[in-house]
Structure 1
Amino acid sequence: MDTPATGYDDVWIIVPAFNEASVIGEVIADVRSVFDHVVCVDDGSGDGTGDRAYAAGAHVVRHPVNLGQGAAIQTGVEYARSRPGSAVFATFDADGQHRVKDVVRMIDRLTADDLDIVVGTRFGGGRPPAAMPWLRRLLFPLIAKLSPASRKLGLTDAHNGLRVFNRTVADGLNLTMSGMSHASEFISLIVENGWKAGEEPVEILYTEYSMSKGQPLVNGVNIVFDGMLRGRMRK
């Protein structure tokens, strides 16, 4: 496949995807307009997601069955960290919610502040974005406050899927929660490993499509309790 020369030769973008055929080509093309290396983990899709991601220029790794977003991210990180010269990594949602320019700014922050990981936040100005559904405005800050690891790190957005991290984090990452609970696990791993973390305001694009793909709000509560249980088990 052709690879654009964009000056980010050491950056790999990991895109976990499940049944995103209608948008994945556009998402991959947008990412590759800035970043040379993208790996899409097709997590058991039945709609041709992997084929469309490959046609758009991504490396594609396929799960034969759906294992969940946590497992897909772990697979993607393992693939990316095995590639020669890989040094910076980012997780990026497949449904079009994330913006590439936010990733660029987070990479700059990672270097400038000598951090191991930068986590995106929807609440950087202290207020939820106007486009966010009101139930999520209430629930997401509560999830962050209930999470011991998030409180310790001072994070305001406990399960934002946009993250940028260095080789130290990539080499040490071992997500065992395969589903959406991986979000709390990721934050717990930051604390457990003593990785230096920062938070960067990002914009989430709440399109009709991305909202239709959203997880049930009750899953947020499950994420918190799974993360708290993990913390107790690790002690």
Structure 2
Amino acid sequence: MPRLFSLFFLFVFYACSQSSDAYLKKGKELMQQGKTREAIEFINTAIEKNTSNAEAFNLRAVAYYELKEFPNALLDFGQAIKLQPQSYRPYFNRALLYTDENRLDSAFADYNKAATFAPDTADVFLNRGQLLVLMERHTEAIADFEKATRLDANNKQAWYNLGNTYYRQKDFKKATLAFRQTVKLDAQYGKAFYGLGLAQWYDGEKDLGCTNLKQASNLGYGDAGTALAQFCQ
């Protein structure tokens, strides 16, 4: 019993000595391990120790978002913004939530804020571009995807989305260029080979198109088989 008692006091002393940032760090680690509910307990303590810790409110909001507890997430995103109004992260993260709720205008407003505060962050423009596609504002989406590729030339998702949006606009030459860059960055990206093959086929490069459709099929992209049967027999 005395041993248990002394261990208890050691734990209490350790817990009391930890800073808000230490609990926040532990919360991040648990979230990376997929232990979101457990992470919230540590983030709660981080906030109790420092009620002005904007990063902790943002992280707890992300945790609630992952758990689909959207009202709690919105409250915490709002508090993070109140505490640190020029940080792009809570705007960026809240935009994801608004998109899930189909509140596209609200999401767009938050991405605009994020772009103002983080004009050199490629993912802001990638995500805003994806939202603009949902809003059927394809010309603006292309501008955002192009900016994302300029900011991060190795962002394969930005290149893929750029190619896909050009393809929807029937600009097959530009779609081909973007898809080529995508597969250069990831030679296992079957969906990108599929897009590249279709863009080339419609641009008159039928043999090259069929070659890339075959590659998409070899990589396991299901729709490629249908396209091969339709275009390459």
Q: Same fold (TM over 0.5)?
A: no
Q: Which has the higher strand share?
A: 1
Q: Quickly name the TM-score band, shorter chain normalised.
A: under 0.3
Given the two structures, how large is their TM-score scaled by the length of structure 1?
Answer: 0.25
Structure number with greater CO (CA < 8 Å, separation at least 6) is 1
Q: Which has the higher helix share?
A: 2
Given the two structures, how large is their TM-score scaled by the length of structure 2?
Answer: 0.26
